[in-house]
Amino acid sequence: MRRKRVAVIISGRGSNLRALIGASEKPNYPATIALIISNRPGAEGLEHGIASNIPTLVIDHERFRDAPNPKAAFEEQLNDILHANEIELVCLAGFMRLLSDDFVNSWAGRILNIHPSLLPAFRGLHVQRRTLESGVKIAGCTVHIVSSEMDAGPIIGQAALCVQPDDTIESLTERILRLEHTLYPACLAAIASGSAKLIDGAKVALECASVPISTIATPSS
């Protein structure tokens, strides 16, 4: 089995990166984490790659602040490095920058992201605060293919849990994060193996039940 070469792009501690690395170490997993990139030099997540002997590098977006188009300059170097390393799929894992339409379109259907809500609900930032303020009873996370609109690309998989009466922002965030660590590797595997396919750029068709779609975690989760 030829495994797809994946780059994971981070900005912070990289807990989902660690989950993806752990899954990729299994011999039957259809993807290998071939490269880890951070836009922040001090990102804790880089240590996960170093510990697993995965090539890591930093493309500090601040270095391009004086360029005529800082975002374009940053993304040009990012794109060159991805191609130089023969990357086939990109996973965003806590990458705290918006990618341009040009970059997303050049990698159409090949960039995955995870978001801590059941999209299309609660796009953007401060998700768990907004979730608790809204009074919804079900929360969760979504893995989707990145599109030019923020947090709006075709959904690959979702996992859900019940919001508890005593949940705080911190407790809900932590419980959803545990779901993310299972969901993201499952969705990457589905895309890498071809059991999940993008149809007409608008939706993802699943050929098997390998991706959790509406898994409701128990209250103790």
Kindly list the structural domains of the chain, giving each domain's residue range(s) and its CATH number in brackets, ordered by start.
Answer: 1-107 (3.40.50.170), 114-221 (3.40.50.170)
Task: Spot the catalytic one: 115, 126, 144, 181.
Answer: 115
CA torsion sign for 26, 19, 159, 8 is negative
How high is the pLDDT of residue 71? Answer: 97
Residue 4: left if φ>0, alpha if ψ -120 to 50, beta else—which one? Answer: beta
Q: Which positions ≥6 away from 171 have C-beta within 8 Å?
A: 164
Reading the block at residue 101, the tokens are 């339409």
How far apart are alpha carbons 27 and 211 in whole angstroms?
Answer: 19
Residue 159 in contact with residue 141, Cβ under 8 Å?
A: yes
Beta-strand ranges (E) seen in the chain are 4-10, 31-38, 56-58, 89-92, 111-115, 138-145, 155-162, 196-199, 203-206, 215-217
At which residue do the structure tokens 């493309």 appear?
A: 59
Query: Which residues of the chain are under the pLDDT cut of 70?
Result: 208-221
Beta-strand ranges (E) seen in 67-181 are 89-92, 111-115, 138-145, 155-162
Q: Which positions ≥6 away from 151 have C-beta within 8 Å?
A: 113, 115, 119, 120, 123, 124, 144
How far apart are alpha carbons 120 and 182 in whole angstroms?
Answer: 20
Reading the block at residue 55, the tokens are 């090539």
How far apart are alpha carbons 13 and 95 in whole angstroms?
Answer: 10
Distances (CA, A) of 44 to 48, 55, 203: 8, 15, 34
How high is the pLDDT of residue 140? Answer: 97
How high is the pLDDT of residue 221? Answer: 44
Q: Is 126 known to be catalytic?
A: no
Residue 43 in contact with residue 17, Cβ under 8 Å?
A: no
Distance of CA 191 to the CA centre of its chain: 13
Instruction: Give tens-digit pLDDT for 20-31.
Output: 999 999 999 999
